[in-house]
Structure 1
């Protein structure tokens, strides 16, 4: 009887939590569960301590990809399978996954689950959530399977059938979920000029990074004029960022003997530039030594990591739509316009204020983390900033500082990865909640600039 009473009391407390708090709690539970599983002797070869296991679990659930151990050698096949499941759960969303399982079993999905699902998918209504979840899983599993088949043509000849097929599946799931985990310590550097790898892997993480609302729009409407404003902004600005970062990376690194300069063929340099220009959009794979990039290239990469990819996607960052509204808001200010106009639609001041709030909170998290970690880390400051930006954007690219961090530094990075994944969802909930002002004050004036 006492156990039943405790369970009932715990259930009441859980149900009283807001959807974002409940969602964050679920992510935390999965992180802790993953950490415990990775600490078992069946999951590792004996070289992974408790903190390292928890760090790896956090990185997998938040689909970041930063590591402090070697995934391919320090974890057994079981441990790698645990990581694959954690990446899938973290990328597609725990609540999304749970609701899909319930719906598949014919269990009715109640209002509470729909509210949580709405927060997980960053939606404003609960009307078509189940259809969106079905589309989400169909696209995700289809892309991962197709990617694994194509990557097998490259990995099987090099590693044999068993190891090659597993590597193909692992990297396909990691790519679509924008996790960046690789079974090899040099990531994908061995395949830096492989046409299949340079085509399949970027297509997977770009598709996953577009967001499931965009994919659902493209799947159901299939005409530019019919898709939503969100999808139009995502597709347009994603293309614009790629077209800007690809040639910029090539120009900055063309003569660097440690990166592009090591490849005599101009086509190989262009190919590598393509991969490295799109991977900072929270993918985390690399085909060159990231720590050898020029400072200007590192700054550009950090900018791309902080921008991230799309809302309702497997990616992190402040999101492309947030960056787009910030940019359009700045242009509107200089044009003395009170509204933003794009694709025949308008965005008011309220949308800009939400974007500013999200951006300011994100930058504060990054700055505080940099400050705290810098108090105990003696390495190059640029590399430290790079790691924090990578953690918040849930990217996984590293300049080598993360494995060198002490206990405090690793805990800070884990917190930043968690906030980078769950934080925007939680903040979005509060921004979407309107409260009417009970007291109004006379207007004031503040001088700016």
Structure 2
């Protein structure tokens, strides 16, 4: 990894050149690079966390002044319980995954001595623009190297100390491997985002990691394809047949385990028949964890009757905007619906196509929900917080995509490869094939691979 203050044009061109070398390295060489990165980061833990603490101090002051959100401060904290360990384990998990490059997915005999193959290959050059989240550098570097892609990273000013410290360690580690240093670059030039977004000749894919505003800005200012999501507006539909004890545990997990995460639940849709049965226990468990419930009239009436002694401030009246808001805090919008189809219609109209779940004991109803909800992740009796590359077994992820092409959901190694077609022939002219006298028919025989 190189720290560069050079021009975005030079960074993109260097990454393009390095991508050709990286893509041709054997699996062993790429895995050795990941081992080197892991060892170097583990050895430099104290220095990196000290740099992160300096970033956090400034960020907390900015948040106190209203210049930075608490959600962003939370994402910045690399010392948060388990975060450092997860970052390092993610590198090893990626190393141990099957190599996604060079896998044959189609083999066809077009004619004698004319064989077509479809083979996976790296995308090329990735541009990752991120806010806070200093662990993104290690995550992206690992995934990019394993998948044979070069990567350019541009971080926000709030995490400058952290990502400089991490990148210097990774750079030193890569210098001892076969991976070109310019294959992973951290751009430190200020105000370079617009120039980077204009490098469509050398950059193949942009992956934003940050706020809704950042993602929307990137999508509006580049010709390069963008992989990501603008919002994480996730919903859970709570039915009358849900297990009331297990449902309370899962909803609490989905809302409170990490409220600032994009896979945290933001809207709880409650079946009207569940208002007097399953819902009160769920509401009480949420209130006990400090969650503020923004209730519609029906759910408020139910709680006022069944749970009159909820903590002060736990209940507020919902407004229409609450159902279109990614709160990223201990705030949950609650809406009453009459049926699964009404829940589906609400999610498809107001959700962000990220991750949505149904809690029910009716298998047919669950399958109907999962088939009809238009989201990257659709779950049955499962917390939305499961939407995560590491939890899916991808090692780690570059982000979660709500795109309708290429990759969707948590994007790991396979999402960073595309494919190319290879043909091995014997100089056959295409003019000899076709229908009619003197023409050869195509054989188009599927072969094993």
Give yes or no for TM over 0.5.
no
What range describes the TM-score normalised by the shorter chain of this pair?
Answer: under 0.3
User: Of the two structures, which has the highest relative contact order with CA contacts closer than 8 Å and spacing of 6 or more?
Assistant: 2
Q: Which has the larger radius of gyration?
A: 2
More strand by share: 2
More helix by share: 1
Report the TM-score, using the length of structure 1 for normalisation: 0.25
